[in-house]
Amino acid sequence: MDNTNYSFSEAFAREMDEKDPLKSFRSRFYFPKVGGREAIYFCGNSLGLQPKTTKEYIQKELDNWAEMAVDGHFHGEDAWYHVRKKSKPALAEIVGAHEHEVVAMNNLSSNLHFLMVSFYQPSKDRFKIITEAGAFPSDMYMLETQVKFHFLDPKDAIIELEPREGEYTLRTEDILKVISDHKDQLALVMMSGLQYYTGQVFDMEAITAAGHAAGAKVGFDLAHAAGNIPLHLHEWGVDFATWCSYKYMNSGPGNISGIFVHERHAESPDLPRFAGWWGHDEGERFKMEKGFKPMFGADGWQLANSNVLALAAHQASLDIFQEAGMGQLRAKSELLTGYLEFLIGQINRDRAVIEIITPKNKNERGCQLSLLVKKGGKAVFDELYQNAIVGDWRHPNVIRIAPTPLYNSYLDVFRFAKILEQSLHKLA
């Protein structure tokens, strides 16, 4: 469906909802209230909604703990010693990987640091890192401190990619040119898969190929990409990646992260890493002996034993993802985001006070549109919130709106547009 087939009408939105093959999933989530009214929630790019089954999944593990205590590690339907394996099929499907290439563990920032230990090995000649300017603060701090850890100056070692003058997003050809220009000194390309502020999806396949051609390793922070856009990490040849589970994967505030390590590194036991006993050979782990032997695949990067309660909350959402399927979720996401784009265009036609800085090409965005508000700014956002619209404000003048296909509807998008229209008129 293209924009010419959309309609700025409640009847159209209701018709689209009626035809939506994923419509039943909405009822499986809790919606917050604002001022006593159920919110129209477009903030899944910061924190996903809670599945109604989450409490049940956690309660099951609490019961196991109460009834078995330490024996729960080796007995019961989901013995904790192997509990990490349960999430692997869904994670592999979501990020496009083999099951042995993924594992749920730690949190995102910790995982970035641990993976950098392995994949950023600067030398006198190769020490530079390429990333995007304006990356999420955690990534900026992580890169800065990793470089300093190797006694290097971030100003010399970190190359930040900036859009062309007058543009908000990066052009793929410019990214590839910078990689080529620094090929003799480049050690690592490490950037987001989907830029949190603009909502731009980077061409990870092309970037990975260019990075490898330059002799560098390539990794991605997929915090805003995992569970949102199609990913094919194994096929693209990405060296490593990590993500969080509390945004599009709806697993709870600050919940467990996950990592991807390409299988070509699985047979590299000498690859530097900071080890822990849960990454040690599972068959010999309880011998409690010296000499670290990493497990095959991503599991070899584990440190401590699994966070069982966190994994339970995570699994409640992952089971929903497997039932819905990434293909259907992406198809609805493209239509839903396209409808939002169409409605904003209709509202903005005579005012020109909003600019969508997220790429128009559906292959270069997920379900988020970043709206640069040229007049009213924070007042517009506050007016939306007073009308029970939950989005996300980013200084100095951007509102991020993310219609999430698992639980948002076309009617949500239509109602948002009507309230936005009224707000702009009121504040004009």
The model's pLDDT over 151-168, given as tens digits with 9 standing for 90+, comes to 999 999 999 999 999 999
pLDDT in tens, 282-331: 888 888 899 999 999 999 999 999 999 999 999 999 999 999 999 999 99
Q: How confident is the model at residue 425 (pLDDT cuts 50, 70, 90)?
A: confident
- Residue (of 358, 48, 400) closest to 202 by Cα position: 358
Q: Domain spanning 3-50+325-427 has what CATH number? A: 3.90.1150.10
- CB-based burial, 274-303: b 16+ in 10 Å, e otherwise: ebeebbbbeeebeeeeeeeebbebbbbbbb
Pairing outcome for strands 186-192 and 128-132: parallel
Q: Is the pLDDT of residue 428 over 70?
A: no
Average pLDDT, the chain: 95
- What does the pLDDT average to over 338-357? 91
Which pLDDT score is estimated for 351?
73
Cα–Cα distance measured from residue 237 to residue 220, given in angstroms and rounded to the nearest whole number:
12
Measured CA distances, 253 to 21, 136, 248, 256, 361 (Å):
28, 18, 12, 9, 31
Strand order in the sheet with 398-401: 354-356, 369-373, 398-401, 392-394
Q: How confident is the model at residue 4 (pLDDT cuts 50, 70, 90)?
A: low
Residues of the chain with CATH 3.90.1150.10: 3-50+325-427
Which pLDDT score is estimated for 353?
87
Please give the residue that has the higher pLDDT: either 172 or 4.
172
- What does the pLDDT average to over 334-363? 93
Residues of the chain with CATH 3.40.640.10: 78-322
Asked if 267 and 63 count as a contact pair (C-beta separation under 8 A), the reply is no
- What does the pLDDT average to over 47-67? 97
Which pLDDT score is estimated for 98?
98
Q: Is the pLDDT of residue 375 over 90?
A: no
- The least confident of 72-76, 83-87, 98-102, 242-246 is 72-76
- What does the pLDDT average to over 221-242? 98
Q: Domain spanning 78-322 has what CATH number? A: 3.40.640.10
Other C-beta atoms lying within 10 Å of the C-beta of residue 379? 13
Cα–Cα distance measured from residue 327 to residue 12, given in angstroms and rounded to the nearest whole number:
24
Cα–Cα distance measured from residue 227 to residue 245, given in angstroms and rounded to the nearest whole number:
9
Other C-beta atoms lying within 10 Å of the C-beta of residue 151? 7
pTM listed for this prediction: 0.95
Q: Is the pLDDT of residue 348 over 90?
A: no
> Would you state the structure tokens that stand for residue 327, as one six-digit string?
């293909």
Cα–Cα distance measured from residue 148 to residue 145, given in angstroms and rounded to the nearest whole number:
5
Q: Is the pLDDT of residue 135 over 70?
A: yes
